Amino acid sequence: MIPLTQMATDVLQTADGAEKTALSRKYAAEWFASREAGAPIEIGTAAPPLRPARPQKPALLDPRDVPRRKPGTPEGRVAMLHAVAHIELNAVDLHWDIIARFGGRVDFPIGFYDDWVKSADEESKHFGLMSDCLANYGAHYGSLDAHAGMWSAAEDTADDILGRLAVVPMVLEARGLDVTPGMIKLFKQAKDTAAVEAMEVIYAEEVHHVSYGSKWFHFLCGRQNLDPTPTFHGLVRKYFHGALKPPFNEEKRAEAGIPPDFYWPLSESAAVR
């Protein structure tokens, strides 16, 4: 069995979405089987690519050049599903990247790997769910263009595990908790039950991904004797460009271990930054 960090690198180097997510799920199952058997796969160390392999389509455009479509139309719903599929595929890579890049280099308890392998597995499932929803409209991942630049948070924090945890799960994925209820409402109005059910699965599981971020962020702060709140603010200001956008999903953020004094001081409406 190859080391976990090499498995992670293999996923990152697989371009096709369906192949990437299938490999991701296979490796996740192998990891958890090894844990169950009491003989965990070795972590090792790896040399992951700075950017993951991606399919030829969708074309990745500057966000300003991605056409906007009305959310109340079928075209708008396809665009939304496609955008979420893109986010999910990116998330698969993000979660394996944290393992490939920091695994074996930062000293973590084995539970750290359990959390990120589980997250990567769930993101792979989410990509599949969105692909199925797109198929209901005769579309597929790659049939529209997508946003470029989603990987920049990973590149910026390639050498900074605290920065990575602050920006990826605790800012970007937490933002998902803020916006998903609105999307669910939209698909409910359109009576697209399949999309509603898929988004409800995503919504429930994403809370855990944010909570893993908070858990390991606090763990590392504790080990380094850092005060978590100002440390978080400093890292987000360093690596995340722009203010956080209210309204915040305070309930789900609280459930995920992100208290209001983490995000309000960084928000658009905060007077002092």
Residues that bind Fe ion (CB under 5 A): 88, 91, 123, 126, 173, 206, 209
Q: Which is nearer to Fe ion, 58 or 169 (CB)?
A: 169
For the CB of residue 130, give the shortest distance to Fe ion in the complex, in Å.
9
> Hey, is 244 helix, strand or coil?
strand
Task: Show Cβ contacts of residue 191 under 8 Å, excluding neighbours closer than 6 positions.
Answer: none
Tell me which residue has its CB nearest to Fe ion: 209
For the CB of residue 119, give the shortest distance to Fe ion in the complex, in Å.
6
Q: Which is nearer to Fe ion, 240 or 265 (CB)?
A: 240
Residue 246 CB-half CA count within 13 A: 11
Q: Which is nearer to Fe ion, 123 or 192 (CB)?
A: 123
Q: Which is nearer to Fe ion, 115 or 206 (CB)?
A: 206
Which residue is listed with tokens 């004094």?
Answer: 261
For the CB of residue 171, give the shortest distance to Fe ion in the complex, in Å.
12
> Hey, is 267 helix, strand or coil?
strand
Q: Which is nearer to Fe ion, 104 or 128 (CB)?
A: 128
> Hey, is 93 helix, strand or coil?
helix
For the CB of residue 122, give the shortest distance to Fe ion in the complex, in Å.
6
Consecutive H or E run containing 147: strand 146-147
For the CB of residue 95, give the shortest distance to Fe ion in the complex, in Å.
7
Cβ(34)–Cβ(40) under 8 Å? yes
DSSP state for residue 247 in the 8-state scheme:
P
Task: Show Cβ contacts of residue 272 under 8 Å, excluding neighbours closer than 6 positions.
Answer: 265
